[in-house]
Structure 1
Amino acid sequence: MEDLCNHDSFWRQKSDATGKMGLLPEQKMTGALRMLAYGAAADQCDEITQMGTSTTLKCLKKFYRHIEFLYGEWFIRPPNYSDLYRLLNRGQRRRFPGMIESIDCMHWEWKNCPTGWVGAYSGRKGRPTIILEAVASYDTHIWHAFFGTPRAKNDLNVLGASNVFEHVIGGTAPQVQFEVNNKRRSTFDKKQEAYRKDVERCFGIIQSRWAILRHSARLFKLEDLRAIMISRIIFHNMIVEDEFVEEEFVEPEEFVKMCE
């Protein structure tokens, strides 16, 4: 709240022409957070925040845009050398040397998609959705996010459109070398499937924390939906960094045997 108030005077409490004090920053933030966390409509927040529908929507749009501007550069960034060392070490302990993170896509249904775009954003199920491509590590921290691709594209098309390999192609990414023994193909597939669950689990956590992502998107502009998604990922990474504690790793099979 302090960062938002310092960034934009909109969040501060001000007096009108008659000298009457306006809304508190806590009221404005509460309205925005209730819409994001509970999936509430703007008119459902008026009894708690004492704000009109138009004011609540204005708070929401300013909130997610300012969050992305203030924190996006740090909380959605490629891993640095310290991060790579930790991630590669965990991959080695999970018997998948050279593995850093896992990548997958998630769909968000777009209820109020403009009529002219419905065909481009609809897939086999006939409902318009927007694809999020994300790269997550074992602790569910998201290191890359690309949002806005229509559902009509498959995962390979999304991969080609995103900038996930931009640093690799440009030669600016840290060098990570590994090799896979062809004789251990079955082991490779088994570990790959286990690692893929990291990003799937990450999608589940984000949707459980932010109900707005569980329900169909009600806003009309694609840019607003992109900003909502990115701001929710930023908050997710904030929580991960705040709660993360490096624990001793135990293989899933070994853990099952211990429980037995």
Structure 2
Amino acid sequence: MEGRGTRQRRSPVLNRPNAAKRHLQQQQQQQEADFHDKKVIASTYFSIEAFLVLACLAVSLLILPLVLPPLPPPPSLLLWLPVYSLDECLWLGESTIIESMRQFVRAVVEVFGDEYPRAPNEEDTAHLFDMNQRRGFLGMLGSIDCMHWRWKKCPTAWSGSFTSHVNAPTIILEAVASQDLWIWHAFFGIPGSLNNINVLHRSHLLDNLAASEAPKVQYSINGHHYTMGYYLADGIYPKWATFVKPIQSPIGRKWQHFVVQQAVARKDVKRVFGVLQARFPIVRGAARFWDQETRNDIMTACIVMHNMIIEDERPEGEVKHVYEGAGKLESQT
């Protein structure tokens, strides 16, 4: 037992005011050092993540072509491989791969979105007229149609407005394509329960024509003079001068031949949808993202890379046009 005269000893640091201040400063410096170490670790982690993503692309370029059949273009690797397939070989978690994919498609949209896809200017219109004149459709700008992309993560409250004829929630992509499979117009984000006419009324396909800002064209067919191009469409589209639809009951060989040729040329946009889904299975499968921005970025990135592939695969003698006044993929807001 301690005696009555025994005093409780205090910490020597607390006995002196200056020592207490130094002790607090040391604690603050230690906290700042720990915070700095965490920042260094975080930056190192993201650097490693970027390195692994680049390593995936390098593997697709150098190694995989030697042991596997031809793969899609390297930029589409993150869209081509399933999420779980990179877990074991590269030690990347599912969330890391998904976030890397989001950053990848966002970068593609920000860097190349102003160039691909783009609305045709006067030089493009002349090129399209020359291409389609050889097919017997002078004045044709392309074929128009819609594609449904299934939305797996559609909220239950929205499933009614997004459910289409396939009995599942879908999102509509409206596109205009030419014979070389180039996508000139894309409008994405409309609920799947709407038809092609509703999508057309919401898209901006004919805004330039309505505002008298479309490229000036002049051509004559059967003695009639025209000053605007047209698109090949199916029977659901309205009877406008900008749409050439099939004849329901053709009489005579002349009209029957026209119906056959119109159906053949109108399949260009169908071919584009098939090639787009074949190159990017993420578009062929169901959409698994909740937010609209990510879905729009994925679709835009796939269309951009599709047009880049079409441009790269053109014959060497063919002129590669430079386009100005381009616009990004239009989406429903």
When the two structures are superposed, what TM-score results if normalisation uses the length of structure 2?
Answer: 0.63
In structure 2, how many angstroms separate the alpha carbons of the residues matched to 1:199 and 1:79? 16
- 1:253 aligns with none
In structure 1, how many angstroms separate the alpha carbons of the residues matched to 2:44 and 2:182? 45
Q: Matched residue of 1:45: which SS?
A: helix
Amino acid at match of 2:91: Q
The change in CA–CA distance for 1:189 and 1:26 in structure 2 (over 3 A counts) is farther
The change in CA–CA distance for 1:102 and 1:19 in structure 2 (over 3 A counts) is closer
Question: What's the CA shift string for 1:203-234, capped at 9, x where partnerless?
Answer: 11111111111111111122211110110000
4+ long deviations beyond 6 Å: none
Tell me the CA shift for residue 46 of structure 1: 1.9
Equivalent residue for 1:122, pick from 135, 149, 163: 163
Structure 1 residue 97 corresponds to structure 2 residue 121: no
> For structure 1, which segment, 63-72 or 19-28, has the greater mean C-alpha deviation from structure 2 after superposition?
19-28
In structure 2, how many angstroms separate the alpha carbons of the residues matched to 1:48 and 1:235? 26
Greater percentage in helix: 1
RMSD in angstroms over aligned alpha carbons?
A: 2.7
Structure 1 residue 54 corresponds to structure 2 residue 61: no
Contact 1:108/1:129 (CA < 8 Å) preserved in 2?
yes
- 1:68 aligns with 109
In structure 1, how many angstroms separate the alpha carbons of the residues matched to 2:192 and 2:120? 28
Contact 1:34/1:45 (CA < 8 Å) preserved in 2?
no
Amino acid at match of 1:135: V
The change in CA–CA distance for 1:23 and 1:188 in structure 2 (over 3 A counts) is same
Higher CA-based Rg: 2
Equivalent residue for 2:315, pick from 224, 230, 245: 245
Q: Percent identical across equivalent pairs?
A: 39
Aligned residues between the structures: 232
Equivalent residue for 2:283, pick from 213, 220, 238: 213
Structure 1 residue 236 corresponds to structure 2 residue 236: no
Amino acid at match of 2:187: F
Equivalent residue for 1:224, pick from 286, 289, 294: 294
Contact 1:96/1:188 (CA < 8 Å) preserved in 2?
no
Contact 2:177/2:269 (CA < 8 Å) preserved in 1?
yes
Structure 1 residue 157 corresponds to structure 2 residue 198: yes
Tell me the CA shift for residue 65 of structure 1: 1.2
Return 5+ residue gaps in structure 1 as ranges: 1-14, 249-260
In structure 2, how many angstroms separate the alpha carbons of the residues matched to 1:164 and 1:152? 20
Amino acid at match of 1:127: A
Return 5+ residue gaps in structure 2 as ranges: 1-38, 58-74, 225-251, 319-333
In structure 2, how many angstroms separate the alpha carbons of the residues matched to 1:60 and 1:19? 19
